[in-house]
A and B are shown apart, each in its own frame.
Chain A
Amino acid sequence: MSLRNTLLLFFAVWFVGISLLQARLNPESIRGLGDYLRSFRKTTGVSTDQFKIGFLPVTCHLTCPVTDFINTQTTGEGLFEPVRFNSWPELKEAYLAGHTPATFILAPMAIALREQGVKIKIVYLGHRDGSAVMVHKDSQIYRMEDLRGKRVAVPNRFSNQRLLFFRACRNAGMTIDEIQLVEMPPPDMPAALYSKSVDAICSGEPFMGQTELDGYGRVLWLTKDVWPNFISCVLAVREDVIETRRADVQALVDGIAKSGKWLDKSMENRMSAAQFVSKNYYMQDPRLLSHVLSKPPDRVKYTRLSPLKPDFEEIEALGVESGILQGTARFEDYVDPSFAETATNKVEAWNFAGPKP
């Protein structure tokens, strides 16, 4: 056969074949293309599509997959569509571009976005506590003061974990210049601590618990020891979506609140969540989530998740001190507490005993 005929035949077969295989093995990919093309036709009216909600595979966002799973199990369909990201910048960009009307996001990042003019409203918290500072088990670091001159990894300049060190330094009578903070994506932190390229690491779970499970990490302190009721991630919604789809946002916050109460109701619920979230959403070893959700049980908490003014004022102050915030946005600008008030008062934990076999 000539080159031209061979090529035409080969490419025709290849394009059709690989596309059909993709449609069969990854149907969501083709559905996504359809959604994208349809989005051009939409001209007027309020969208009634399912909410897409951005989240990362960390315990700070655990209520997102828990709510989705329980809803799907009990009603047959999800309340919203959880979209898993792998890092903060992509999650934030998808939100800014309007592809995810709601997202779990770092609290200081949400405030900073508001200062930069983004119409963002915090409607609920993701969790309380749930971070740790880990050091290598062979190291001679036993107190905050021992971190003087050491390299400490934090997830992002907008992460509350970085602010945590500002507060911890103040508590210990140190200045922030005495420790060397470096930014590092949390998934890379365990390997960095193992190879001793940093002296301490701090991020949300389960990356900290992983170093304990693998036998080379030791807890220097948990957030609850330094900053009780620490907040790192919040649920944020676009302001225009709040205006046009109040009922949907309320249903979303109610669902998240129910999941939080359900998680804190019993250890059985937490262990059940560790299994189904690890297998269906986080693709992690369930031992990891089981560990961080139980040892100790108050390592991370999912109740008392209404956004409160004093908490955020403290974050604002530390944010200004650390140079990531200007201090121009007020609590009233970036928080809409009305959904949380309704959810906290009327919502009970899910009545859910575990996944169907």
Chain B
Amino acid sequence: MSAATSEPPIKKQDDDAPPERRRDPHAWLALALPLTVAGLFLLGWDAAVRVSASEVFPRPLDVVRGIRELAEKGLLLKYIVASLFRVTWGFGLAVLIGVPFGLFLGWFGRAYQAFNPMIQIFRPISPIAWIPVAILWFGITDIAPIFLIFLASVFPITVSASAAVQNMQPVYLRAAQNFGLSRLDLFRRVILPSCLPQIITGLRIALGIAWLVVVAAEMIAVNSGLGYLIIDARNAGKRYDLVVAGMIMIGLIGLVLDLLVRRLATFDEVRWGYANRQ
């Protein structure tokens, strides 16, 4: 039970020395296994299209050619940047508002009682349902998709932050009170660090959701983005290779985003919160 008993990182730990790592003789498997699964998936997809003799659904090579065509026209980078821009601002605003609000709700029980039902009402509403509202308020500008992405991610973030405070070990608080910490210090040095691991998990899930709704958010009249690419390709006659290309780019970028957020869990400030199963 090292995770539960190790102290929260109240003071900065200086372990700049690189940790001694035992070389894992099977490290190559970490790359080889997922690549094998992906390869088998591609082969199965290709075989399925050939067996069904579909003239509509593209084969993997068609999709690769579609992606190359987009790259040559300069559209690939343009679309990726547009989608990332919207998700960055939508998700960024959701973090800025969701985390403090969630901590506030978690700490003040009455506020939680007051706001929680409203949050639970808003949380399950799909961003697609908000499209008319987004157009009404924000017109056909980029703010509309940013708003939709914000809505999709702010509620999970708020809920995970408030749950993190509510689930905090009471022993931390009692210890802090024994030390006579001021309210600000209590928040800064005890509450926030002890909640961080759970908040980061919440952010990871919310980022996945934010990226998930990019297709729905770009149904509004924007003319760039990976979601737009999918909707646009459906308008463009038999270009399902581009539809699948958009799906694959969204998937690959989602993978990279998840890897990035998971890196956060390797910092000492967060790592203590996870029980290590090796």
Contact = CB atoms under 8 A, between A and B. Distances in A.
Contacts of B264: 3, 7
Contact of A86 (B135, B139, B141, B231): B231
B176 interface: no
A213 to B, nearest CB: 8
Interface string B82-97: 1011001100100000
B140 interface: yes
Interface in B229-278: 231-232, 234-240, 264, 267-270
Contacts of B268: 3
Contacts of A3: 196, 264, 267-270
B184 interface: no
B142 A90 contact: no
A8 interface: no
B139 A94 contact: yes
A29 B238 contact: no
A35 B142 CA distance: 11
Contacts, number: 133
A36 B132 contact: no
A15 B131 contact: no
A14 B56 CA distance: 39
A22 B82 contact: yes
A285 B235 CA distance: 11
A35 B135 CA distance: 15
B234 A188 contact: yes
Given A15-B88, A84-B223, A93-B132, A25 B55 contact: no
A215 B81 CA distance: 37
Q: Which of B85, B220, B223, B264 has the most CB of A within 10 A?
A: B85
A206 to B, nearest CB: 7
Contact of A33 (B136, B142, B235, B238): B142
A288 B236 CA distance: 9
A85 interface: yes
Contact of B142 (A7, A32, A194, A213): A32
A86 B222 CA distance: 9
A11 interface: yes
B140 A32 contact: yes
B234 A282 contact: no
Contact of B55 (A6, A36, A84, A216): A216
A278 B166 CA distance: 57
A5 B153 CA distance: 24
B116 interface: no
Contacts of B234: 187-188
Q: Is the interface of A mostly helix, strand, loop or mixed?
A: helix
A78 B81 CA distance: 27
B236 A11 contact: no
Interface in A203-217: 206-207, 210, 213-216
Interface string A179-210: 00000000110110011000000000011001
A321 interface: no
Given A22-B81, A26-B82, A206-B237, A33 B141 contact: yes
Contacts of B239: 285
Contacts of A195: 56
Given A3-B270, A18-B88, 19 more contacts: A6-B267, A21-B81, A21-B85, A22-B85, A25-B82, A25-B224, A26-B82, A29-B222, A29-B224, A30-B142, A35-B141, A39-B139, A93-B131, A97-B135, A97-B136, A190-B238, A284-B236, A285-B237, A288-B237
Interface of B: 12, 55-56, 77-78, 81-82, 84-85, 88-89, 92, 131-132, 135-136, 138-143, 196, 219-224, 231-232, 234-240, 264, 267-270
29 contacts: A3-B264, A3-B268, A3-B269, A3-B270, A6-B267, A15-B88, A18-B88, A19-B89, A26-B78, A26-B81, A26-B224, A28-B223, A39-B139, A52-B140, A54-B221, A84-B221, A84-B223, A90-B220, A93-B136, A94-B221, A187-B234, A190-B237, A194-B56, A214-B238, A215-B55, A282-B235, A285-B236, A285-B237, A285-B239
What are the nearest 8 A-B pairs in CB distance?
Answer: A32-B141, A22-B85, A187-B234, A99-B139, A3-B267, A3-B269, A93-B135, A97-B136
